[in-house]
Structure 1
Amino acid sequence: MIKKIYIALLIIFGLMTVIIGGSVIFDLFGMRAKEGNFVPIVVHINFICGFLYLLSAYAINTKKSWTLKPLAMALVLLILAWIGLWHHIEENGLYEQKTIYAMAFRTILTLTLILTFTKIFKK
């Protein structure tokens, strides 16, 4: 049961990330205007992470040996996004405060998914 919840969480979060990120990147549904001052590197990395969450869900569901690697890659990319975000802020680039909150949430969630995976599924 926990495995199904874990996979469902990865799928839901992954799909939401791909849809929202893709909508901003490709300016679908007027999302760029709705997002305000978005930071391109953050949006692009989050978009990629969405696919990595989906790949991880697939790997867990099909019992692949590399199930943790997409999540680990997502965490590394998120660290790079933080560096890009802070550089953007230091250069007086425009951004929304919600970007910092969203990045913190995504990073903590990804780290939690990695730790949970390691604790529950690697037994």
Structure 2
Amino acid sequence: MMKNKILAFAILFFGLLTLFLSSSIIFDMFGIREKEGNYVLAVVWANFIASIIYISAAYALFTNGRWAKTSLIIAVIVLIIGYIALFVHINSGGLYETKTIGAMAFRIILTLTFLILTHKFNKK
């Protein structure tokens, strides 16, 4: 049970950080939009949606809800769609930051790790 709580805190922290950063770009808060350079709006929105899903998955883990895995599966799908949109944007000649490619790959891998750990810790 303690593993679930630690995992829930990690997911919650990542979700809140992602929510702050993505909403700061979308709503142009704190000058973060300008600092991000050539951001791809579809990626930012995918991250924003995923952040809300992370927070719901953390809540599910805190309350022993079995739907945490489903939430994380949806987050992976949203992020993959965002990743595909990034490559469509790149192939269309759109401006982007090179770091976005690696950041999205990292985010997808981290979310898959959260999903695997959630599955492992909630086997019954």
TM class by smaller structure: over 0.9
Structure 1 segments of 4+ aligned residues over 6 angstroms from their partners = none
* Structure-2-length-normalised TM-score: 0.95
For residues 35-68 of structure 1, the C-alpha deviation after alignment (integer angstroms, 9 at most, x for no partner) is 0000000000101100100000101111223121
Per the TM alignment, residue 84 of structure 1 is displaced from its structure 2 partner at its CA by: 0.2
Q: In the alignment, which residue of structure 2 is the partner of 1:51?
A: 52
For residues 61-91 of structure 1, the C-alpha deviation after alignment (integer angstroms, 9 at most, x for no partner) is 1122312111010000011011100000000
After superposition, residues 105-120 of structure 1 pair within 5 angstroms as 105-120=106-121
* Structure-1-length-normalised TM-score: 0.96
What 5-or-longer segments of structure 1 have no aligned partner?
none
Distance 1:88 1:3 in 2: 38
Aligned alpha-carbon RMSD (Å): 0.9
For residues 8-55 of structure 1, the C-alpha deviation after alignment (integer angstroms, 9 at most, x for no partner) is 101100000000000000000111110000000000010110010000
Q: In the alignment, which residue of structure 2 is the partner of 1:73?
A: 74
Aligned length: 123
Higher RCO (CA-CA < 8 Å; seq separation 6+): 2
Identity of aligned residues (%): 47
Per the TM alignment, residue 115 of structure 1 is displaced from its structure 2 partner at its CA by: 1.0
What 5-or-longer segments of structure 2 have no aligned partner?
none
